[in-house]
Amino acid sequence: MKNCIIHRLKTKSYGEVLEMQKNLFEENIQRKRNQQPTNNHLLIVEHPHVYTFGKHAKSNNLLASPEYLKTMGAEIHHIERGGDITYHGPGQLVVYPIFDLESLNLGIKSYVEKIEAAIMDVLNIYGIEASTISDRIGVWIGVGTPNERKIAAIGIKSSRYITMHGLALNVNTDLNMFNHIVPCGIPDKAVCSMESELNEKIDLFEVQERMIDAFISIFELQV
């Protein structure tokens, strides 16, 4: 089992946590260059309103002007993860694993599959049946029906097998905030949340702790 440091960050701005991610990421890159042991980190956070653009984001997937979004108190960040545009905000659980995949004997594909499995394990505890779609990263509800909807998004960056960025699970998220974008660049699919699926507010802290447990189990981590 590999050691992992858990960072429960509560509510922090996207920019602040991005800087923290970069520092931990670069520290591990440097450790690998120096042939020193790396450290695995799991950052758990809830962000204020923010829209992030991945390196493949298309400008026409932003349906509102940046000026309008700023009047709503939302930040905008252009970042180096894969994927298109997405939203983070209150009621959403965001997880950033800064992992050394080489030390975990994982490739990128198996890493993403394990993240998806952790999300689905947590949702299953609440009686939410979720699954994946072979050509689309993330976790979905109602796959194979006319009402396929996304409940969790994944976007990562990796260099020298060190990862950053991660996943966002909609728990009690205000889904109206997704109306200002084409989420993840997929125009024909809706988004949902645990709250919208269960018709009740969910304890975000409880989901957080269950997500940590799922990561520890699936990635065989020691904390």
- Cβ atoms within 10 Å, residue 3: 12
Q: List the alpha helices (DSSP H) in the chain.
A: 14-33, 66-71, 108-125, 194-198, 204-218
**What are the residues whose beta carbons fall under 8 Å from the beta carbon of 59, sequence distance 6 or more?**
none
Q: Any bridge partners for residue 162, and if so which?
A: 100, 159
**Which amino acid, residue 213?**
D
Question: Is 4 a catalytic site residue?
Answer: no
Nearest to 123 by CA among 109, 136, 141: 141
Catalytic option among 104, 118, 184, 207: 184
- Cβ atoms within 10 Å, residue 18: 19
Residues 40 and 166: their CA atoms lie apart, in Å, by 14
Residue numbers annotated as active site? 184
